Structures are given as C-alpha cells and as structure tokens.
Chains A and B, each alone.
Chain A
C-alpha cells in the first residue's frame, strides 16, 4: 500500500458491512462484499482444515465457506448454529470465490478510517496460547472501531484465506 493510499484511507469514511458471530459484531469493507446469501446446503470437505465449513453452490458457482469461529477459537457450543447461518460472499477481486459463515447480518455502518484502532499495539501481557491465537488472527483483524453501543471488529477479507492455505501447507 502506498503512502498516498494510506492517507486517503485514513482520512476517508469507510462503509462497513457488519454481521454478528458468537454475539460479537464484525465488519468488512462493503466494497469487498459481493452478496449475502442464505446458507443453503453445505457439503463438508473431509480432511480440510477445521475452520473450513465446506462448499456451497450459489447459482452454479462453487464457493468455499469459512467458519471464522474456528479461526478465532470461539465457544464451540455455537457450532450447531454454524450450519444454519448466512454466508457473506466476497467479490472475486478479493480471492478465489469464498464466503464466511455468520450468525446474522446487520446494518451497513459508515466509520471514519481514523477511528479504527489497531489494538495489537497495547496487548503485550498475554499467555503463549493467547499469542498463538493472536497470530492466527493477525492480518484478519485490522483493528477495532468503537461504535455508540459496542465495539466493531474490522476484518480484512483479503487475509482470511491466506491463513487457510498456509495452514494446509504446513500439514
């Protein structure tokens, strides 16, 4: 990213497509989102990393669905919900066709770029396990943006699958 781009990003407002997952509010840049789809029938991919739900068919196109709960290590009792949520589908410019499973799609929120706080900076006194988890989240979570009532975790869609493929290679 060039300095110029960063500057425009910092100064401009960004439209966020927000959604809920395990009671937390997340957002991705709306320009990266192609559509939101009802999660129809998921076909599991055996032997795939645990945070891959499987494939779904959207109008003849096969789409990989990622379960970010797994990536973030959220409470597993939500797992049953994971098969009945909605899928946020990203544009082809983001990566090969894929989407993420969410519990509920919320409003579109405009936020100032400058209000996104990179919270990695002020968390240092954490355990090894937490650090491990953080490394997985690194890159995916761009930062936190405080809204009126709660915090919005801003995700970078472009980094979601980068993690997946790296993991598979290690196996």
Chain B
C-alpha cells in the first residue's frame, strides 16, 4: 500500500512541476504576444506526461481533462489550428483546474471536468474539419510507422515546418530556425534525423539534468552541520598559536573552505523572487478583463533571490497589493482619458537589493488616494475621532489605510473592498521582520514599498541585559535608545494612573520593565501594574533623597537608566533594561516545542561567546505587560503650548562650535550623535571624511556653510548624523550643551542666512537654529559648484 502512495505522491510532485512549467509558458506567450512552436511542443509534452501516469494511477478526471487538452495542443502543434483567445483561455482554465485537483489528488475523480472537456473538444473539432481538407497530418504516422507516442513528441521542428509551410507564422527561436534549414536533407536520409531532433530541444533536455529535488530538512541538517564545522574550526584556530607552519596552512584552508561551505549551503535556500512574481501577470490580466480596465503589468528584478520561507510568506501580501493596485489604483480607460492620461494604466512590481534588505515596490500610475476620502472613511467607521484626525499630518493620514477594518472601495466587489486588505498585508509582512510604507500622490498613483529581510534565519538585533541574562531585540522593532543620567534617571519617569510613562518629545511613552515582565508569569492586570509602579516610584523617591544627600555633602552619585523604544504594530513603548551591549547579527532558532507557547519570546540564539540568549518578541511583551496606547499617542498638554504669539514648544539639541555662540537643531532631524576623535577625520582633496560603521561619511563643519566662528578643533568632538540624509553626511560640532523641550519664539529677522531657520532666546542666550537639511544642501552645492 505504502509504495502505491509513494508513487502517487511522486506523481503529484512531478505534475506540479509540469504545471508550473505550463504556467511559465503561458506567461511568456502572454508577455511576448507570440506563440512559438517550441512553446506548444513544451506544453504538449508536459500535459502528455501528466496524462500518461494519470491513467494507471486511476485518476480518471485528470486523465480525461489532460487527454482533451492534449488533443487540442496536438492540433495546434500540427498546425491544424491556430491559437485564438478562446483556445488559450480554455487551456489556462484547464491548467487551473488541474492544479486544484492536484491539491487534493485523492478527491480529483469527483471533480466535474465534463464541461471543460466538452469546450476543449468543440474547439478542437470546430476548426479541425475545414483544416482536414488539406490535412496531410494523418499520413505522418504512416510515413514513419515505428514512431511511438514518445517519439512523436520529439519530432523535430524542422519536420513540422517542412510539412506545414503555413507554420511559418510562428516565429521559431533562432537556433531552431537554424536547425530547420538542413532538415530537408535530413528528411531524405532518415538516419540523420535523430541528431536534428535532439538539437531542436536542447533547453528542455538540459533543464532536467540541472535540477535535483532535495528535501528541505536535509538542507537544514546540512546547514546545521556546517554550523558545527564552523565551531570546530574556531577551536582549531584557537590552538593554532602553538602549531607549526604546515598545520597553520592546513588550518587556513580549512577555514576558507568552511566559510565557503556555509555560504553555499545558505544559498541553497535562496530562490529568485520571479517564481512569485510570475503568477501575478496572469492575475492582472484576468483582473483587467473582469474590471474592464487596460493594465500594463511589468515586473523588474525577477532574479533577486530571497529565502524560501520568506518567498512563501510574501505571496499573499503581494497578491493583496497587486489586486489593490488594479482594483483601486488604476482607473477605467475613460476616466484615465478624462484625466489626461493614456487609457492603459501601468502596474510595476520591482524587486531590488538595498542596504542589506530586499525591497519590493508595487507602483501604479492610477488615481492615488484622496486624503478627504480617507478622513471620511475613518470617521464613518469610527476608527479615529475628528479631534485625532485634525492633529495628524499628511503621512499619518495616509497610513490610516493600514488600520484594521479600513477600506475605501465604494462597494464590495469580488475583487477587493472588504476592508481586510492593508492591515493583513502589514501584519503579514511585519511577522517575518519586514516593513511596509505607502506613498501616494492624488491623480498620479501610489507606491507601496515592502522592505524584507534577506533570510529569516539571520537578523540584526540589539543585545541587552536584564539581571544576569542577555536578551536579543530584533532591530526591526527598535526605534531608538534613551539613556537618562543622574537626576533624570529618577525624575523623568512619571506615573499616569497605574502605569509608568515617559515623555519622549511630544508623545507619552508607556514604560515596560523587562525585569518585572520576566519575574511575573501572569499577564499584568491593573493590580500588578500599580504594584510595580508604586514600588518603582518609592525607589525613585529614595534615589532622589540619596542623590540630594550626596549633593549636599559635596560628592555625587551617578545614576543611569536605559530604555529602548520599541514598536510593535501601532504600539510604542519603552523597555527598561539594565544594560545595553550593542548590536549583533544573530541566527534565529525557533523555540523548543515544550516552551513554544510563551508569548515573550520569538526564538533563541547563540551569542558570540557561546551562551544562549532569548529573542524578545515586542508584540508578546506589550501584550503581557498590558500596554495600551496612552493618550492616543500625542501629549495634549504639549500641543496646547503652541500659543498665539508664535511661541512654540520644540525639542532641540543645543550645541556650540567653539566660541560662545549657541546653536540648536530640531531633535527630529537628528538620527544619532556619535562621539568621535578628531584624529580619525581624513582629508580627501577639499573634503573631509570619517569612517563610521564601515561607511565613509562626509564631515560637514558649521563654518563650511555659515559665517560663524571656526572650531578650535579639540581632540574629541561630536558628530550629528541627520535623519533622512540621502548621502552619508554628518555635522561636526565641538560641544553638546543640552537637549530638551524649549519654548521657542522664532525670530527670522535678526540673523538671516541660508541653512538657518532663525534665532531664538533659549536658556537666556541667543541661539541660532540650524536647518540641517538646508545646510547640507548648501555645503553640498558649494562642493559640487567648486568642483564643476
């Protein structure tokens, strides 16, 4: 019995391969718009193979359907029929039904295929009759009576072309055209026919030899073994010092071979994204017909490779997005013409590498999204209040489409509009460490960018410590790190009800204490929360008293408090940890079956020193700690601070650049601040660079762009790295003065220059507010200007 099942399983596997090959051929036919004879031969061969085994396995439905398809293909192949829309539609439908039947092959016999079989037969016979008049085909078997069914398949194109001059309408590929010429001679000498026949199909022959089906767990095992080999190699390297020269060279080759082996095995899991992309052109074509739209579908970067697991996981989100682009994005031809565009819309799906991630963009040139419609829908569905909406900026508003339950489709169609679209995409992509962003210009179209990790197995993460244990936090969840020193450590964390919060710029950030979260197995309720909050506020009071005592007695105590700002979905929270160790690329291992149900972890990993660390799951952590959005994100009190007299509360970083001038930049514009040694700055021509994290970053000095005092160039300086910089830049400053929220009344008259927003009195001192982006532009322009 078991062998029967094995055979069946193997057959299903094989047939699936054939079906995907068939899909590919249809794709290329649709894409190029021409039907090659070789394609029809390939189709015929694939269908024939499926049919062949279906018979003896007792799969009658599959047998009947494939037989009908085969006959039709045969007629096409022999030139009795030419490909029409209805024929290709029927064949594609057949392929679809076949793939459905293979999903549950045991029930395939109960699938009713009679209707389609009838259609196929009609198509075949309908045009068969007139063609039969001049039909020399039946003679073919008589000419070569020894030809078996298998050999028929292999019949050379040359032969067919020779017999049917009308087939010239099919553009044969060059190598086949070349083969066609000597064919008449071959026909005269039947013995010479075989080589010609073989040469006519080299591509399909090679294909079979190049691939091998391998079980995934075998690959996983290989991967694991390679990992063990790496560790053995590491041990060997450690003992190398005592070893002699011969051994050293052997170890070195062991080292390089091991590394290469590991990389190669990693690559076995990578597959081109084209395998996922290919199914969409078919879908878009069907959709455009159904929706009465003209859509030009283009894919780019099909060859970009991704881990197999990720490829499987992005299928559904991408389907949603492509469907959305066709249904909601691209307009009907008449609407497009009315809007002054061409009647054919365009949907582009492109994949490319960027900064260690794979980007997939879905771009349409349709109508884009109307902010008003989004607002109205959000209010209608009561997803947000009017008040909340009025405080949102443009991008926030657009991002509302990712809210669960949101849909702008005027009516629910069978294509889309059930309001389960974008949030499913977002959660789906975020689940495996990717991210989604949306930009849309009304009237011009929308672009959705997916950022995906290269593999699921290795992720960049931050290593933190709580108690004696270290934990890994995936970088995707991490927004920023905050360190509070001395006084701030006990004054800046406040209580809001039972919860601890921190005012991060203009938002209230709920705080989570990792230590407490680990110590308490039960999910946090109000009671537990207030217990923790009370305990900690007591501790803070004590710290305050001690600090004051120490201060009074002349020496000082140093406190510090670290937390990481994590994001999970729409929730943001601060995770208080004892220590931050730095970032590490970690290999994610899934949790053991026996401890899989614990929500706090998403896996485990082995750190550089060999110790196991748990990987924290931000979503699970937030849920366990019962984190809710505090005060809708924005701090109302702060918002009101914008008074009529133009005073505005702004979060600024204050610095000086030598001398006594005080400068300020918006905190939002600064990505991070690095302390650097001036000796590390290198000069190339008139430009200065510093290497940060392996990237040569251009050094901009304040005096390069503004007429201010030059820095006295002390040994240690600070380097402000701007947010959203298109090139790696940084601003070199001498001293950081302070950061925080300041009441700013901007004065634009007293000091005007490019790269400067204006001046304001901050801490009773005139402060020049620098616009980082403008300054960078200015300096960049000067550099380029100077060179050009």
Enumerate chain A interface residues (CB-CB to B < 8 A): 40-41, 43-49, 52, 54-57, 59-62, 64, 66, 95-98, 161, 164-165, 168-169, 171
The reply to whether B601 and A60 form a contact with Cβ atoms under 8 Å apart is no
**Contacts A57-B606, A61-B228, A64-B595 supplied; 17 other A-B pairs, CB < 8 Å:** A41-B611, A41-B612, A43-B614, A44-B469, A45-B601, A46-B519, A47-B521, A48-B594, A48-B598, A57-B612, A60-B228, A60-B606, A96-B592, A165-B596, A168-B597, A168-B598, A171-B597
Instruction: Encode B601-619 as 1/0 by CB contact (under 8 A) with A.
Output: 1001110001111100000
User: In this complex, what residue of A is CB-closest to B599?
Assistant: A47
Contact of A168 among B230, B595, B614 (CB under 8 A): B595
Interface: B231 (CB within 8 A): yes
| A43-B611, A43-B613, A46-B519 known; A55 vs B594 contact (CB < 8 Å) | no
The reply to whether A60 and B595 form a contact with Cβ atoms under 8 Å apart is no
Question: Which chain B residues border A161 with CB–CB below 8 Å?
Answer: 593-594
Question: Could you tell me the distance in whole angstroms from the C-beta of B157 to the nearest C-beta in chain A?
Answer: 52
Instruction: Encode B565-600 as 1/0 by CB contact (under 8 A) with A.
Output: 000000000000000000000000100111111101
Query: Once bound together, how far apart are the Cα atoms of A43 and B604, in whole Å?
Result: 10
User: In this complex, what residue of B is CB-closest to A167?
Assistant: B594
Interchain pairs with CB closer than 8 A, number: 84
Contact of B228 among A56, A59, A165, A168 (CB under 8 A): A59
The reply to whether B612 and A60 form a contact with Cβ atoms under 8 Å apart is no
Question: Which chain A residues border B610 with CB–CB below 8 Å?
Answer: 40-41, 57
Question: Which chain A residues border B592 with CB–CB below 8 Å?
Answer: 55, 62, 64, 96-98
Most buried by A among B228, B469, B592, B604: B592
Question: Could you tell me the distance in whole angstroms from the C-beta of A58 to the nearest C-beta in chain B?
Answer: 9
Question: Could you tell me the distance in whole angstroms from the C-beta of A15 to the nearest C-beta in chain B?
Answer: 27
The reply to whether B224 and A61 form a contact with Cβ atoms under 8 Å apart is yes
Interface: B227 (CB within 8 A): yes
Interface: B457 (CB within 8 A): no
Query: Once bound together, how far apart are the Cα atoms of A103 and B322, in whole Å?
Result: 60
The reply to whether B612 and A43 form a contact with Cβ atoms under 8 Å apart is yes
Question: Which chain B residues border A171 with CB–CB below 8 Å?
Answer: 597
Interface: B673 (CB within 8 A): no
Question: Could you tell me the distance in whole angstroms from the C-beta of A131 to the nearest C-beta in chain B?
Answer: 24
Closest 9 A/B residue pairs (Cβ): A164-B594, A46-B518, A43-B612, A55-B612, A64-B592, A60-B227, A47-B598, A48-B595, A168-B597
The reply to whether A52 and B595 form a contact with Cβ atoms under 8 Å apart is yes
The reply to whether B589 and A62 form a contact with Cβ atoms under 8 Å apart is yes
The reply to whether A62 and B604 form a contact with Cβ atoms under 8 Å apart is yes
Query: Once bound together, how far apart are the Cα atoms of A171 and B594, in whole Å?
Result: 13
Query: Once bound together, how far apart are the Cα atoms of A60 and B611, in whole Å?
Result: 10
Question: Which chain B residues border A168 with CB–CB below 8 Å?
Answer: 594-598
Secondary structure of the B contact surface, majority rule = mixed
User: In this complex, what residue of A is CB-closest to B603?
Assistant: A62
The reply to whether B589 and A52 form a contact with Cβ atoms under 8 Å apart is no
User: In this complex, what residue of B is CB-closest to A61?
Assistant: B224
Question: Which chain B residues border A45 with CB–CB below 8 Å?
Answer: 595, 598, 601, 614
Contact of A62 among B518, B519, B596, B612 (CB under 8 A): B612
Query: Once bound together, how far apart are the Cα atoms of A19 and B431, in whole Å?
Result: 43
Query: Once bound together, how far apart are the Cα atoms of A63 and B613, in whole Å?
Result: 12
Query: Once bound together, how far apart are the Cα atoms of A41 and B468, in whole Å?
Result: 12
Query: Once bound together, how far apart are the Cα atoms of A66 and B594, in whole Å?
Result: 10
Query: Once bound together, how far apart are the Cα atoms of A140 and B594, in whole Å?
Result: 15
Question: Could you tell me the distance in whole angstroms from the C-beta of B615 to the nearest C-beta in chain A?
Answer: 11
Question: Could you tell me the distance in whole angstroms from the C-beta of B437 to the nearest C-beta in chain A?
Answer: 34
Most buried by B among A54, A59, A161, A169: A59
Query: Once bound together, how far apart are the Cα atoms of A119 and B200, in whole Å?
Result: 76
Question: Which chain A residues border B519 with CB–CB below 8 Å?
Answer: 46
Query: Once bound together, how far apart are the Cα atoms of A43 and B518, in whole Å?
Result: 13
The reply to whether A52 and B594 form a contact with Cβ atoms under 8 Å apart is yes
Query: Once bound together, how far apart are the Cα atoms of A62 and B224, in whole Å?
Result: 11
Query: Once bound together, how far apart are the Cα atoms of A122 and B168, in whole Å?
Result: 90
Question: Could you tell me the distance in whole angstroms from the C-beta of B518 to the nearest C-beta in chain A?
Answer: 4
Query: Once bound together, how far apart are the Cα atoms of A161 and B592, in whole Å?
Result: 10
The reply to whether A98 and B612 form a contact with Cβ atoms under 8 Å apart is no
The reply to whether A169 and B597 form a contact with Cβ atoms under 8 Å apart is yes
Most buried by A among B597, B604, B612: B612
Contact of A57 among B518, B593, B601, B611 (CB under 8 A): B611
Question: Could you tell me the distance in whole angstroms from the C-beta of A59 to the nearest C-beta in chain B?
Answer: 5
Question: Which chain A residues border B600 with CB–CB below 8 Å?
Answer: 46-47
The reply to whether B594 and A62 form a contact with Cβ atoms under 8 Å apart is no
Query: Once bound together, how far apart are the Cα atoms of A95 and B230, in whole Å?
Result: 25
Question: Could you tell me the distance in whole angstroms from the C-beta of A102 to the nearest C-beta in chain B?
Answer: 18
Instruction: Encode B205-237 as 1/0 by CB contact (under 8 A) with A.
Output: 000000000000000000010011011100000
Query: Once bound together, how far apart are the Cα atoms of A98 and B591, in whole Å?
Result: 12
Question: Which chain B residues border A43 with CB–CB below 8 Å?
Answer: 469, 604, 611-614
Question: Which chain A residues border B589 with CB–CB below 8 Å?
Answer: 62
